Amino acid sequence: MANGVRTRVVEAGEGPPLVMVHGTGGHLEAYSRNVRDLSRHFHLILFDMVGHGYSEKPDRPYTIDVLSDHLIGVLDALEIERAHLSGESIGGWVAAWTAAHKPERVQRCVLNTPGNILNKPEVMKRVKESSLTAVREATPENVRSRLEWLFHDKSFVTEELVEIRRSIYTQPGFERAMENIVAVQNWEIREPFAWGPEWCGRIAAPTLLLWTDNDPTGGLDEAELLLKWIPDSRLHVIGDAGHWPQWEKPDEFNDIHLKFLLEGDR
């Protein structure tokens, strides 16, 4: 149980704790290609956020504060006082929010393609509609379409990855869960948590902005904003990748994590 929520967690390796936080409608398998290398250096913790994957799905909008509280609940359940955080897409948003509001719990922070910093309506609409369609009509084609949007090289969307996600999306009650997951794509729900200098300026942890050159949710102009807003931040751009560089470029992704997260220990 994490913050009162039955939660699926996978742990591997020993060393400094590193929690990896998946994206909207995602699940911990998003980091399958990173476990082997990163667990050689870290106590690696993967989990399904509340409402996602195979974790419990209470009927309420999964806003950024709710997701952040669940993340802290995972740390508490594992008796971890302080950890590195690496979040992808909305997971990056959750990691940043946690670093700003619970700074004593975060050592270093990686924001991996954190997505739509400027709250572009067309991106919000695309995420919401494609996610709901992939659950309401969970055909292999619709699930594949949702996944392919994340990738620059579509060949990475394998039959195995499609079936992993279809198995999750066809769970009883998952349509309602997805409605709660994509609630933050509605501006009236999103607005209190929208990226901005006020709360980003409270992030004290050294922060790596991990961007790509083909992210469909936001370009380098948005990375430049975060560089201005987050005091101790730096940028690394992974080439020839989309929204999931951890899958498309795992070696570079893993290497930059090692260099940045272990920097303070050398």
Catalytic positions: 243
Sheet holding 43-47: strands in order across?
9-12, 43-47, 17-21, 83-88, 106-112, 207-212, 233-238
The residues with which 211 forms a beta bridge, in sequence order, are: 237
Cα separation, 182 vs 189, in Å, equals: 10
Mention every residue, 6+ apart, whose C-beta is less than 8 A from residue 188: none
Of 13, 38, 20, 27, the closest CA to residue 252 belongs to 38
Print the SS3 string covering 105-171: HEEEEEEECCCCCCCCHHHHHHHHHHHHHHHHCCCHHHHHHHHHCCCCCHHHCCHHHHHHHHHHHCC
